[in-house]
């Protein structure tokens, strides 16, 4: 019987921090020939830090901007929100502005109503900043040459630019090796990120990813996975965010980073407990071995 072999492999995986929700996915994994990776928190550590900030609103002081941004971002679980909060000095509670409406829009940013003004904190396109404007803003920052891997987060008040943050993230220690090993197995690697072209390409190049998809809404991640499936590929998707969950659901094998969002972990078929990408490779090897035993 093949059952003992499957159970032995599943427990082997579990000992290595790879949790399969069903043996079916362990059996499928060796057939995967396309793997789509989320960027932030998956290829990168997902602990971005603020490298530079400008507060430039025409009628709101730096102090007030900090208060408002703090009050809004403290409602978000996004790694960029956490980074912004830790860069902002502690704000006294009694002066915190009141948030009347708060909305988290996965892949784009957060929006809130504060004393009748609509504040948006998020990506360039969504906040209404043009590429040209971004280029101009970044060119004024000294010591920032050419294309950088920074993620830029914009803050607007009723569509007027109020502040922007430059955040840097680092590629995971095991990322480059894991990608290379997958490519040696003839697996095509894709990146699907909500970040802009600039941030996506810099991390994509460092990680040596085959194809880079940027400015992806959660639905765009789904579409890409579906498109590859229609081409008869067996597709795995790996991610950590709420924005990755729909794509994890449609992939042949959905893999979540264990320290990721609840939505990703609940939707995925496999969980890498310690966020370690090298475990993905180990899981594939287990699957290959299992298929040889079963044959």
Least distance to ligand ADP from the beta carbon of 196, Å?
Answer: 7
Q: Which of 241, 246, 254, 258 binds Mg ion (CB under 5 A)?
A: 241
Q: Residue 194 interacts with ligand ADP (CB under 6 A)?
A: yes
Residue 194 binds which entry of ligand ADP, Mg ion, none, with Cβ cut-offs from 5 to 8 Å by kind? ligand ADP
Q: Is the dihedral of CA 48, 283, 224, 197 positive or negative?
A: positive
- CB 54 within 8 Å of CB 151: no
Taking the C-alpha atoms of residue 260 and residue 272, their distance in angstroms, rounded to an integer, is 10
Q: Residue 38 interacts with ligand ADP (CB under 6 A)?
A: yes
Q: Residue 41 interacts with Mg ion (CB under 5 A)?
A: yes
Q: Which of 76, 156, 175, 224 binds ligand ADP (CB under 6 A)?
A: 76
- The residue (of 109 and 149) whose beta carbon lies closer to ligand ADP is 109
Q: Residue 265 interacts with ligand ADP (CB under 6 A)?
A: no
Taking the C-alpha atoms of residue 89 and residue 66, their distance in angstroms, rounded to an integer, is 8
Q: Which of 13, 25, 35, 38 binds Mg ion (CB under 5 A)?
A: 38
Residue 173: Cβ within 10 Å count: 12
Which residues does the annotation mark as catalytic?
Answer: 38
Closest CA to 138 of 211, 210, 53: 53
Closest CA to 242 of 20, 35, 79, 95: 79
Three-state SS for 252? coil
Q: Which of 121, 179, 182, 251 binds ligand ADP (CB under 6 A)?
A: 121
Q: Which of 30, 67, 123, 156 binds ligand ADP (CB under 6 A)?
A: 123
**β-strand pairing of 34-38 with 188-192:** parallel
Least distance to ligand ADP from the beta carbon of 207, Å?
Answer: 12
Least distance to Mg ion from the beta carbon of 45, Å?
Answer: 11
State the residue for tokens 């040696």.
Answer: 184
- The residue (of 195 and 269) whose beta carbon lies closer to ligand ADP is 195
User: What are residue 152's DSSP bridge partners?
Assistant: 166
């Amino acid at each position: 019987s093949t059952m003992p072999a499957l159970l032995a492999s599943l427990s082997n995986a579990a000992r290595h921090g790879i949790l399969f929700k069903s043996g079916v996915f362990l059996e499928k994994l060796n057939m995967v020939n396309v793997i789509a990776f989320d960027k932030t928190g998956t290829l990168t550590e997902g602990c971005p830090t603020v490298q530079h900030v400008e507060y430039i609103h025409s009628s709101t002081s730096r102090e007030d901007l900090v208060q408002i941004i703090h009050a809004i971002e403290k409602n978000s679980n996004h790694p960029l929100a956490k980074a912004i909060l830790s860069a902002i000095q502690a704000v006294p509670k009694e002066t915190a502005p009141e948030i009347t409406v708060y909305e988290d829009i996965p892949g784009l940013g957060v929006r809130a109503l504060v004393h009748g003004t609509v504040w948006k904190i998020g990506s360039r396109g969504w906040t209404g900043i043009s590429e040209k404007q971004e280029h101009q803003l970044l060119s004024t920052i000294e010591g920032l040459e050419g294309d950088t891997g920074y993620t830029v987060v914009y803050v607007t008040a009723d569509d007027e630019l109020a502040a922007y943050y430059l955040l840097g993230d680092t590629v995971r220690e095991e990322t480059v090796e894991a990608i290379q090993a997958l490519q040696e197995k003839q697996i095509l690697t894709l990146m699907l990120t909500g970040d802009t072209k600039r941030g996506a390409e810099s991390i994509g190049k460092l990680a040596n990813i085959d194809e880079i998809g940027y400015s992806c809404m959660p639905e765009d991640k789904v579409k890409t996975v579906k498109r590859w499936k229609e081409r008869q590929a067996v597709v795995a998707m790996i991610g950590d965010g709420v924005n990755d969950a729909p794509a994890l659901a449609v992939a042949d094998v959905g893999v979540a980073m264990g320290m990721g969002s609840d939505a990703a972990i609940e939707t995925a078929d496999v969980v890498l407990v310690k966020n370690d990408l090298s475990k993905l490779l180990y899981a594939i090897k287990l699957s290959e071995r299992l298929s040889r035993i079963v044959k």
